[in-house]
A and B are shown apart, each in its own frame.
Chain A
Amino acid sequence: MTHRHDRALHVAALARVEGEGAMHVQVDGDVVTDVRLDIYEPPRFFEAFLVGRGHHEPPDITARICGICPVAYQLSACLAIEDACGTPVSEPVAELRRLLYCGEWVASHALHVYLLHAPDFLGYPNVVELARDHRAAVERGLALKQAGNAILELVGGRPIHPVNVRVGGFHRAPSPPELRALARDVLRPALDHALATAEWVAGFTFPDFTIDHELLALVDPVDPQRYPIDRGAPRTSAGRSFAVAEFEQHIVETQVPHSTALHGRLAGAGTYLTGPLARYSLNHARLSPLARQAAAAAGLGERCDNPFRSIVVRAVEMVYALDEALRLVEAYEPPDPPYEEAVPRAATGWGATEAPRGTLFHRYRLDADGTIATARIVPPTAQNQPAIEADLRRFVQDRLGLDDGRLTTECEHAIRNYDPCISCATHFLDLTVERR
Chain B
Amino acid sequence: MVIGVGNPYRRDDGVGPAVVDRLRGAGLSGVTLAESDGEACALMLLWHGRRLAIVVDAVRAEPPCPGRVHRLVVPWPAPPGRSAGTHATGPADAVALARALARLPQRLVVYGVEAADTGFGPGLSPSVASAADRLAALIIGEARAAGRAGTRA
Binding site for B on A (CB under 8 A): 13-20, 67-68, 111, 115-116, 119, 125-129, 131-132, 135, 138-139, 142, 145-146, 149, 159-160, 422-423, 428
Contact = CB atoms under 8 A, between A and B. Distances in A.
A404 to B, nearest CB: 16
Interface stretch (B95-103, B117-125, B126-134, B135-143): B95-103
In terms of DSSP, what is the predominant structure of the interface of chain A? helix
A111 B96 contact: no
Given A15-B85, A18-B87, A428-B85, A145 B100 contact: no
Interface stretch (B12-20, B37-45, B69-77, B108-116): B37-45
Q: Contact residue range for chain B?
A: 20 to 34
25 contacts: A13-B85, A15-B82, A16-B84, A17-B85, A17-B86, A18-B85, A19-B85, A19-B86, A67-B39, A68-B86, A111-B41, A115-B86, A125-B82, A128-B79, A128-B83, A128-B93, A128-B97, A131-B97, A132-B100, A135-B101, A146-B41, A149-B42, A159-B42, A160-B37, A423-B87
Nearest to B87: A19
A15 B97 contact: no
A116 to B, nearest CB: 7
A302 to B, nearest CB: 32
A416 B44 CA distance: 25
Contact of A142 (B44, B82, B102): B44
B81 interface: yes
Q: Which 7 A-B pairs have the closest CB atoms?
A: A126-B83, A131-B100, A128-B96, A17-B85, A132-B100, A18-B86, A128-B97
A312 to B, nearest CB: 21
B83 A67 contact: no
A67 B44 contact: no
A149 B87 CA distance: 18
A160 B37 CA distance: 9
B120 to A, nearest CB: 12
Contacts of B42: 149, 159
A102 B41 CA distance: 19
A160 B39 contact: yes
A423 B85 CA distance: 11
B101 A131 contact: yes
A127 B82 contact: no
A142 B39 CA distance: 13
Contact of A145 (B41, B83, B84): B41
B86 A14 contact: no
A127 B97 contact: yes
Interface of B: 37, 39, 41-42, 44-45, 79, 81-87, 93, 96-97, 100-102
Nearest to B37: A160
A125 B45 contact: no
A334 B81 CA distance: 48
A20 B87 contact: yes
Contact of B37 (A67, A128, A131, A422): A67
B87 A135 contact: no
A351 to B, nearest CB: 26
Contact of B83 (A16, A68, A111): A16
A423 B39 CA distance: 16
Given A67-B37, A160-B37, A125 B100 contact: no
Nearest to A21: B85
A14 B85 contact: yes
A135 B100 contact: yes
B86 A20 contact: no
Given A128-B97, A131-B100, A111 B86 contact: yes
A134 to B, nearest CB: 10
B93 to A, nearest CB: 7
A111 B42 CA distance: 12
A125 B86 contact: no
Contacts of B84: 13, 15-16
Contact of B81 (A116, A119, A125, A423): A125
Contact of A125 (B37, B83, B87): B83
A138 B101 contact: yes
Nearest to A17: B85
B132 to A, nearest CB: 24
A279 B78 CA distance: 41
A15 B81 CA distance: 11
Contacts of B83: 15-16, 119, 125-128
B87 A142 contact: no
Given A19-B86, A132-B100, 18 more contacts: A15-B82, A16-B83, A18-B85, A18-B87, A19-B85, A111-B41, A111-B86, A116-B86, A125-B81, A125-B82, A125-B83, A126-B83, A127-B83, A129-B100, A142-B44, A146-B41, A149-B42, A422-B85
Contacts of A119: 83
